[in-house]
Structure 1
Amino acid sequence: MARINYSDPSKASDRTREILDKNRNANIFRMMAHSPSYFEQYCRLGGAIRHKGELDPVVRELAITRTGILCEAPYEIVAHKRIGKNVGVTDAQNEALENWQAATCFNEVQRAALAFTDEIVKLNKPTDATFKAIASKLTPGALVELQLSVGFYIMTSKFLETFEIDLQPVAEVVG
């Protein structure tokens, strides 16, 4: 159960309701809508991360889901495993993310991105060796997008856990 009540969409501005509707009134957004201006900007950056960059969407979703795992944010993990499947992440990859280092289902770029993700979350920044490994495989733009994706979803995971956002029932997420 969430630590505070979710916002009431019927009391929100037209713009906030419009954004909530576009996002299926998901619990994370209903909580975030308590601050309409932050909510709108959060959604703009999240939309850019998910839809406007050059970073391979599979790499992005693997990194985002791994971030949720490391931040212990079940809502994030469930949501991005589903999103990942929609962009090409395999079931084997989703299942292996908990212990990706021992898995054989990730290619060289994906492994470098996952190592980069692990070190950003665990060490606050990647080691020189890890940075060089991923920088040799991505364009500067894609590298920036990968780092911003991980950072954005660290923030998102911490938001979810701070407010103890309830998982959506599957019918609401899929429907």
Structure 2
Amino acid sequence: MALTPLPGDQWDEEVDKALSRMLPRERRNPEGAGNALSVLVRHPQLTRAFLGFNVHLLFNSTLEPRERELIILRVAHRRECVYEWLHHVAMGKEVGLTDAEVEAARRNGSAPDAFDRLLLEAVDELDDKSVLSAQTWDALGERFDDRQRMDFVFTVGCYTTLALAFNSFGISPDPTAGYEGKR
């Protein structure tokens, strides 16, 4: 692991404040926060700033949770981010993704639903070119309003950033997570 979790004796008020945007008080500790947040709090100011953005995408996005999780899974697959993949498979199933839909996030073009296929293709396009074509933007607009399309773009960007960080920092999936599947 390139970065290890912050040792428990270094968890202070600044770390608690950084995690307060995402975690209830009882989970703001090395055991409750999990590997990713325990590593990220090595830089509390950055963590606090980033979690504000991430919390919006997880809890206040205009996207449906199922759509959000499908998008994140495609990003995790493309970025080969095991941590992100395993956590979001579990989260996706909690919001209604089926095994076939999870598998579709691995194999673009295999989603049974046409709009799901569009979402997966749009992730690929955005990741490949850093821009959505006018055709893709318009196709998304048949179901999404401008805010939803904005949340789509920022969800892809946010979880791409997290995948880059998790992979670079060597963050391992939480051993007690009990998530199924593999990246």
The count of corresponding residues between Structure 1 and Structure 2 is: 170
Which stretch of structure 1 is more off in the superposition, 88-97 or 5-14? 5-14
Q: Which amino acid aligns with 1:49?
A: L
The equivalent of 1:42 in structure 2 is 50
Structure 2, unaligned runs of 5 or more: none
Considering fraction of residues, name the structure with more helix.
Answer: 1
Which residue is equivalent to 1:131?
137
Which sections of structure 1, spanning at least 5 residues, go unmatched?
A: none
For 2:73, the equivalent position in structure 1 comes to 65
**2:152 partner letter:** L
Supply the distance in 2 between the matched residues of 1:103 and 1:4 (Cα, whole angstroms).
36
> Where does residue 119 of structure 1 map in the other structure?
125
User: What are the residue-to-residue correspondences of 1:73-112 with 2, within 5 Å?
Assistant: 73-104=81-112, 107-112=113-118
Give the ranges of 4+ consecutive aligned residues of structure 1 lying more than 3 Å apart after TM superposition.
none
Matched, 1:153 2:159: yes
Q: Give CA-to-partner distance per residue, 1:84-134, whole Å, 9 cap, x none.
A: 111111121112221130342xx2322221111111112221222222211
Question: Following the alignment from structure 1 to structure 2, what is the Cα–Cα distance between the partners of residues 15 and 173?
Answer: 30
RMSD: 1.9
Tell me how far 1:6 sits from its aligned partner. 1.8
TM-score, L = length of structure 2: 0.85
Aligned-partner Cα distance in 1 for 2:52–2:64: 19
Question: Aligned letter for 1:116?
Answer: A
Shift of the 87–34 alpha-carbon distance from structure 1 to 2, 3 Å rule, reads: same
Match of 2:5 in 1: 6
- Contact 1:66–1:114 under 8 Å retained in 2: yes
TM-superposed CA distance for 1:160, in Å, is 0.6
| CA positional deviation for 1:166 | 1.2
Alignment check: 8 A CA contact 1:9 1:17 kept: no
CA contact (8 A) 2:126 2:132 kept: yes
Aligned to 1:144: 150
> Is the partner of 1:101 in helix, strand or coil?
coil
Cα contact 2:75–2:123 (8 A) shared by 1: yes
2:15 corresponds to which letter in structure 1?
Answer: T
**Cα distance, 1:136 vs. partner?**
2.2
